[in-house]
A and B are shown apart, each in its own frame.
Chain A
């Protein structure tokens, strides 16, 4: 479903991803870990199409299409979703209005019928329950004045509503309290399905206790330095990234 080959990407003339390859099959959950500044968010941004990143080499195929050719909104319609590490505030824009605009834009792009207010509210109500979303957040401006944890929950709520095929969660666990972490994890687990794939970027084993990944990768210095199963994350927790550095070819640094 997602195949990244030898991806090189730079920002502001600085190469961040340096030949990253990764293959993900439908229905799998892949965790991506790695030191600060390794390029994890960069990977998420490049996949979602954030302007400013230059892909200098490599390919990304998503369900047979060349993802790198598409505008960000077209990628979204094709099923790519990025839960931001730092969700953005949009003052004055009602959260529900925003969600409906997003969902309908995607539906339209896919040639599906747009939802009217009533249909949309019905969908929202269902998801609010399922995701344990605070309803008052829906009536406020997008992320404006939300606490750190509320912003993250809003991201997951958007994901639940948009039902992407590839969900990239960039440190969605950081900033969440223990109960919220459980709830978010349950939400994600509920969305796991044979057609849906998750890339879960995280620094902590804690999240992976709840969302058990099929694979764990360590991203270091712009490449996948190590891959394994859920056990790898536990080893990392115990030994730290220095262990990976020794473990992997010398000269790779964070």
Chain B
């Protein structure tokens, strides 16, 4: 029920716990971007020719595009020639036993033990360190039932037919500026395939960590759930504290076939920058799922506490009849963080439903925006959407904004939107304090209550983690 007070105390005493740097020898490409770099990345990964061509196609498309500025964030023009597009630990492990102990220690510090005991905990973990996937646990056990859970690079080489069929089928190469960039230079990420009729026997989980300086992380994840299958996947993210900004431009594609269900949860804790707004990760992400078959279901749950700039709209394309998409989000911003996040629900099939629950918590000088689009296409008879956006402000200098958009082309649609903005009420704070609870604990207690509906969607152990993360993030937020 509760987190241990000692742990919480420990968590509160440090500000960004994940901000350490690990010393590992790396193979890093020189900074800059051109066709040769794209080819070099592809070659380093021993990719088949079609993949190299696919990347080059994306690169050429990207050259024709411009960095977008429409989100409610102040994103400096990123010098993409100053970044290195590939950085990998030099020692390439063949099995978990060979993973560099420094890297294992780094993940241990983050509370992600990669060792065998994980299997017992019922969670399979893929860990991505800078550009490459360093370890995937429980792989064999999963393979026995037909689940493929491996790094994207591995999948490209060993399951090319699946990758070729599905990659870019939800997020096309030229979808947007950062998606095009990602398609050209993506480094690694997870690949998940759940065969027909199977309920994946354990939670799948990936931890992403940016370690090297001046590198970007271009994660590419693809999850395919075949007919009647069920899977729950969780990603966690951290980065060291650095004064310069690090770029994370990911693309995640989910495909749910007939009656399949995918639950994708994110606990994102990239370094947010310091209290003066220096440093931090630019988290510019395209996440999209497609309910391709009838009666399929995709749920995005995200707890976002990190990054200097977040630009992220996990979306669902509801193509199959009676399919449903859900989006549950908690976004915490403080200091000078800027978050522009939300979702896009595109109703195409008949009797499709979507539900959006967004909880924003802003403190300090931060700005949080919810941007949501509910689109109902011509033939989407009886589409239903319910959207609820609540925000809490802590202090006077932060801001919260809601931008709900609707495009309804079918008159049978019912689309509802509710929004509230409130301050943490002084009387709630005093009530808690008069019972002996410190002001800081009272804030996190109240905020936790506010986020309950979203935390309830997370797998148990991650809900506990999310709660702790929230406490750490809100440290010193009052005043």
Give me the interface of A with B, judged by CB distance under 8 Å: 48-52, 71-73, 75-77, 81-82, 84, 87-94, 97-98, 100-106, 108-109, 114, 117, 141, 158, 162
What is the minimal beta-carbon distance from A97 to any residue of chain B, in angstroms?
6
Whether the Cβ atoms of B431 and A88 lie closer than 8 Å is yes
Top-4 shortest CB links A-B = A92-B449, A93-B449, A76-B436, A92-B452
Q: Identify the closest chain B residue to A109 (Cβ).
A: B436
Partner of B1, one of A72, A81, A117, A141: A117
Q: Indicate whether B433 reaches chain A with its CB closer than 8 angstroms.
A: yes
Give the docked Cα–Cα distance between A93 and B430 (Å).
15
CB-CB under 8 A for A106 and B436, given A92-B449, A93-B449: yes
Total A-B pairs in contact (CB under 8 Å)? 88
Q: A91-B449, A98-B445 are in contact. Are A73 and B426 (CB under 8 A)?
A: no
Contact A162 B435 (CB under 8 A): yes
Task: Tell me the residues in window 428-471 of chain B with beta carbons closer than 8 Å to chain A beta carbons.
Answer: 428, 430-439, 441, 445-446, 448-453
User: Which residues of B are found within 8 Å of A141, using beta-carbon distances?
Assistant: 449
Given contacts A48-B434, A50-B430, contact A73 B439 (CB under 8 A): yes
Provide 19 A-B residue pairs closer than 8 Å at the C-beta atoms, listed in order of the A residue: A49-B434, A50-B430, A51-B430, A76-B433, A77-B436, A81-B434, A88-B425, A88-B430, A88-B431, A89-B428, A90-B431, A90-B449, A92-B449, A94-B1, A97-B1, A98-B435, A98-B445, A102-B437, A106-B436
Total interface residues on B, using CB and 8 Å?
A: 26
The chain B residue with its CB closest to the CB of A101 is: B437
Q: In the complex, A159 Cα to B178 Cα: how many Å?
A: 57
Interface centre among A49, A72, A106, A158 (most CB of B within 10 A): A72
B5 at the interface (CB under 8 A from A): yes
Contact B433–A72 (Cβ < 8 Å) = yes
A residues in contact with B441, CB < 8 Å:
101, 105
Given pairs A90-B432, A92-B451, A101-B2, 16 additional interface contacts (CB within 8 A):
A49-B433, A72-B430, A73-B433, A73-B438, A75-B434, A76-B433, A76-B434, A81-B434, A88-B425, A90-B445, A92-B449, A93-B445, A104-B5, A108-B5, A117-B2, A158-B435
B79 within 8 A of A: no
B418 at the interface (CB under 8 A from A): no
Closest to A158 in B: B435
